[in-house]
Amino acid sequence: MKEGKERELLNRWKTTVDLGKFVLGARTQALPDESREILGMIQPDLTDTLLQPKNRRVALAQCDSLSEYIEFVNKKLDEGKKVAYYYFCMSPEIMLALDMLPICYELLGGISAGNYIHGCEDGIDKIESEGYPDHLCATQKGTSGYLLMGIVPKPDVLLMYEWASVTFGAPLITFEMPYYFNERAFRFFVGEVKRMVEQLEKISGNSLDEEKLREYVKIGNQAMEYLLKVQELRKEVPCPDPAWHRPTDTAFSLLMGRPESVSYFKTVYEDAEKRVEKGESIIPEGKKEIRCAWGYAWQGFSLPFFNWLEEEHGATYLECVLTYFPPFTGLVDTTSLDTMIEGLAWRWFCWPMSRQSASFSDIWVNDFVRICEDFKADCLILGGHMACKHFWALNKLLSDRVKEEVGIPTLRFEQDIFDARFTPVSELKRIMNTFFATL
């Protein structure tokens, strides 16, 4: 356990992970006394879910990976490296190569939301108590509140978050994702990434070393390769990849460049591949599979909910806007510094949600018409995140097109993906029961 208030959340996670390993049988040493407090915070049904045979290996890989990531963050903090908070539509290879400590802003609230009974509500309540409206995105509110509470590291630089930049006096780097998905827009975006590198070099005091970057990009490529392969496997009938992996896929894709991301996606892929080879299913024997394309977002406050979907309804989770990389995303060419920067820019250009939400509705709609067809979906589920106003102005266009071209129905409901108080799990289950009864 590391001292210092700014490590309070990290310490909370560390104890959580140790408890997870203990439960999963991977840790035998006795846990310290303070673990009891954390144990009381953890969602009780999370343990049941992770202990299921189909979930155990990935659950353990997650615990190990998160444990290593916490160690990495602590080490960088000990070394006094510059803390760079980055946006959730990119990966941290460049910051790693510049020897900074990259922390994804949304991940702090997200990991808390996924583990604890009260998720990241403490952070959300803190920022809302400052006058910020409840309809803003909880993925950012959680972390913003934690920053105000002082329980996470202070930023030295922010990629995209003006509020935090003003509040903590840290420089703000922005990069523009142009509104079009074409060559002109991509060229502009490559320029943006290059400009971002220049600014990060100044702030970190290091210049971007080609060899170092190659090292991290290769690690990122490994994770990406597994991710794309498992994405393909989800087209199989029955779907071989459990639904609760979708929120964690999002989390670990944000760590591409770190070995933890590779371990996670490798395990997910191996499990899925084995099931395909053996013709095994992730839903109970005798249940008919209901293949669900989630046209927008998972919720991150109850992973057991997704397990319940499989167990209760045989409903599998194929793809969503927060996880889908188009197959043409590919890998980053590591030939030179230029190809790596351009390759990372291309990956971020294709990044889930960024690609769909930062452009015309057509991109999103067309992606999901194609996904529903390719993944042989039986229905489209639109779990709309309350804060995402752009989604709420396209969901009808999306469901109409999917009905027209694929002939499948849509379920739409409201949720806050990091705040269970908005639509509690019990209500989500009621909504699902009603929908599947009419399907």
Partner 1 sequence: MKLPARLENPYVKEWKERVGYVIGYVCTYVPEEIIFAAGMLPYRVEARGCTTTELADVYMHRFNCTYPRCLLQLGLSGEYDFLDGFCLLNGCEQIRRMYEIWSKYVKTKFMAMITVPHAIYEEGYEWYRDEVSNFAENLRGYFAAKLTDEDLRNAIKVYNESRRLIARLYDLRKSEKPPISGTDAFKLVTAAFWMPRDKYNHLLKEALDEISQREGISDYRARVMIGGSACDDPSFIELVEGRGGLVVTDSLCFGTRHFFNLVEEKGDPLEAIAKRYYHHNPCPRMLREYGNRLQFTEKLAKGAKVDGVILQRISFCDNHGVESPMLAKDLEAKGIPVLVLEKEYMLSDVGRLKTRIEAFLERIERR
List all residues 6 or more positions away from 163 whose beta carbon is below 8 Å from its beta carbon. Answer: 144
Q: How far is the CB of 193 from partner 1 (least distance, A)?
A: 12
Q: Does 326 bind partner 1 (CB under 8 A)?
A: no
Binder among 37, 48, 162, 198 for partner 1 (CB under 8 A): 162
**What is the distance between the alpha carbons of residues 102 and 86, in angstroms, rounded to a whole number?**
7
Which 8-state DSSP code applies to residue 323?
A: T
How far CA 20 is from CA of 24, 204, 230, in Å, comes to: 6, 35, 25
172 touches partner 1 (CB under 8 A)? yes
Other CB atoms within a 10 A radius of the CB of residue 408 amount to: 19
Residue 163 within binding range of partner 1, rule CB under 8 A: yes
Taking CA atoms, 30 is separated from 18, 261, 351, in Å, by 10, 28, 42
Nearer to partner 1 (CB atom), residue 50 or residue 158 = 158
Binder to partner 1 among 414, 425, 429, 439 (CB under 8 A)? 414
3-class secondary structure, 165: helix
Q: Which long-range CB contacts under 8 A does 78-84 form with residues at least 24 apart?
A: 78/2, 82/156, 82/157, 82/203, 82/204, 82/205, 83/153, 83/154, 83/155, 83/156, 83/157, 84/155, 84/156, 84/157, 84/158, 84/159, 84/200, 84/203, 84/204
Identify the three-state secondary structure at position 122: helix
Distance (Å, rounded) from C-alpha 332 to C-alpha 347? 8
Q: Does 396 bind partner 1 (CB under 8 A)?
A: yes
- Region binding partner 1 by CB under 8 A among candidate stretches 13-21, 96-104, 255-263, 386-394: 386-394
To the nearest whole angstrom, how small is the minimum distance from the Cβ of residue 165 to partner 1? 8
Q: With CB under 8 A, what is the number of residues at the site for partner 1? A: 36
Q: Does 202 bind partner 1 (CB under 8 A)?
A: no
Choice between 52 and 174, CB closer to partner 1:
174
130 binds partner 1 (CB under 8 A): yes
Residue 136 as a binder of partner 1 (CB under 8 A): the answer is yes
Contact 164, 152 (CB under 8 A): no
Interaction between residue 135 and partner 1 (CB under 8 A):
yes
Q: Does residue 188 touch partner 1 according to CB under 8 A?
A: yes
Nearest approach in angstroms of CB 439 to partner 1 is 23
Asked if 390 interacts with partner 1 (CB under 8 A), we say yes
Does 129 engage in binding with partner 1 (CB under 8 A)? no
Span near partner 1 by CB under 8 A; candidates 32-40, 51-59, 389-397, 402-410: 389-397
- Nearest alpha carbon to residue 17 among 68, 56, 57: 68
Q: How far is the CB of 354 from partner 1 (least distance, A)?
A: 13
Distance CA 292, CA 303 (A): 16
Interface with partner 1 includes 138 (CB under 8 A)?
no
DSSP code for 238: S
Q: Which of 25, 37, 180, 403 binds partner 1 (CB under 8 A)?
A: 180
Site residues (vs partner 1, CB under 8 A): 130-133, 135-136, 160, 162-163, 166, 172, 174, 176, 178-180, 188, 191-192, 195, 360-362, 384, 386-390, 392-397, 414
